[in-house]
Structure 1
């Protein structure tokens, strides 16, 4: 998420216009990627027999997901039928 942001700041003196777009779009692009792939990953893990509570606990500890009920957790793109 912060790679594009840091790259944009570092390259600002060389390419200010490109850096501006990297800085502005890095975080939203990473957030959309996360919002799509976290439910995919969760589905993948549950299909392989992971305990849902343990999966949530470990994912929160690793800062992969937000706590249940968090406003940020609601930005995940839900799978159809779930």
Structure 2
């Protein structure tokens, strides 16, 4: 992709927030209300056990969305970002992805759902970006 068609860090992060984080939170919130309605309680009068079951199911649904959408967003971002290291930093800071610097973050990263081809393409793009960053003739 040429520099003219690459996107700024801010645009890539905004796409991640509105494509990953907002739908994840909306799914969790909506699922809690729908599940509580299905079991016949309002949130204020729901017994604790039923609330926690509804919360668990809602978070599972949100996590499923996150697990599918993050790899797609990352591949899209790798192909378009003009400064991948900054995008990666901001993605962690804004809650799009977990940091890979902690064992918890690496564990959460393993819940991403992607094909072997998708993972291979991500690695290739990350290696190409790193090679460009290490290149002595790199122009800023």
TM-score (norm. length: structure 1)? 0.70
Distance 1:24 1:49 in 2: 35
For 1:45, the equivalent position in structure 2 comes to: 77
Question: Equivalent residue of 1:43, what SS?
Answer: helix
Higher relative contact order (CA 8 A, sep 6+): 2
1:4-35 residue CA offsets vs partner (Å, 9 max, x unmatched): 23x268648x814xx85743411111101100
Structure 2, unaligned runs of 5 or more: 1-24, 121-140
1:63 to 95, 110, 113: 95
- Count of aligned pairs: 78
Question: Equivalent residue of 2:113, what SS?
Answer: coil
Distance 2:60 2:110 in 1: 15
Distance 2:115 2:35 in 1: 36
When the two chains are superposed, the root-mean-square deviation of aligned CA atoms in Å is: 2.9
Q: Which has the higher helix share?
A: 2
For 1:76, the equivalent position in structure 2 comes to: 112
Structure 1, unaligned runs of 5 or more: none
Distance 1:63 1:39 in 2: 14
Runs of 4+ with deviation above 6 angstroms: none
